[in-house]
Homo-oligomer: A and B are copies of this chain.
Amino acid sequence: MHYPEPISKLIDAFTRLPGVGPKTAGRLAFHVLRMKEEDVLDFAKALVNVKRNLHYCSVCCNITDIDPCRICQDKSRDASVICVVQEPKDLVAMERTREFDGYYHVLHGAISPMEGIGPDQIHIAELLKRLGDEGVQEMILATNPNIEGEATAMYLSRLVKGFGLKVTRIAHGLPVGGDLEYADEVTLTKALEGRREI
């Protein structure tokens, strides 16, 4: 005994999403069954639109519905700085600080030999082209503070050595609101190393 085909197909589709197991998928599918038809249609349309109407910005590789993206079109920003991030989400996190008014470059990943991702699989070529062209003076490496992110930052900093660029890495240290007691040794070591006079 199985579910009727339409529902088992939907359960399959949900199961393919990350972090969704068969039980959750079943729960979600039955929820969809109880949703209003127009809401389900909107959901389906949103899925297709994301795939059809979004692409990568030809300049910074961020996802966008217009090309170049809104940030790259914004002439009021500081063209001398490019902040390199791994994912579109990281760009949004940076924008939330309201402290950065340069441009971005989104790599869409990080170098990870373990997962077979080399420099050619992420958008480094586009970045190099921009660094040569646009009168950029500083590249801020804002990749994640983990092995892959560090490796990518290290790789990029070596790659652009001859470009005469200032290359910076965002600081490691204690998160604000964090607790010294619960900080791991590596973070604490980095926080000590990065100490500044006040």
Write the residues of chain A forming the contact surface with B, with a CB cutoff of 8 angstroms: 1-7, 9-10, 12-13, 16-19, 24, 26-33, 35, 37, 39-54, 63-65, 69, 71, 87-89, 91-92, 95-96
Contact = CB atoms under 8 A, between A and B. Distances in A.
A181 to B, nearest CB: 26
Chain A binding site: helix, strand, loop or mixed by DSSP? helix
Nearest to A9: B46
Contacts of A5: 65
A40 B51 contact: yes
Nearest to A34: B108
Nearest to A43: B13
A65 to B, nearest CB: 4
Contact of A44 (B44, B63, B89): B44
A138 to B, nearest CB: 21
B13 A33 contact: no
Contacts of A6: 46, 49-50, 53-54, 65
Contact of A10 (B10, B24, B31, B46): B46
A35 to B, nearest CB: 7
Given A3-B63, A32-B50, A41-B51, 6 more contacts: A1-B92, A6-B53, A9-B42, A9-B50, A10-B47, A35-B51
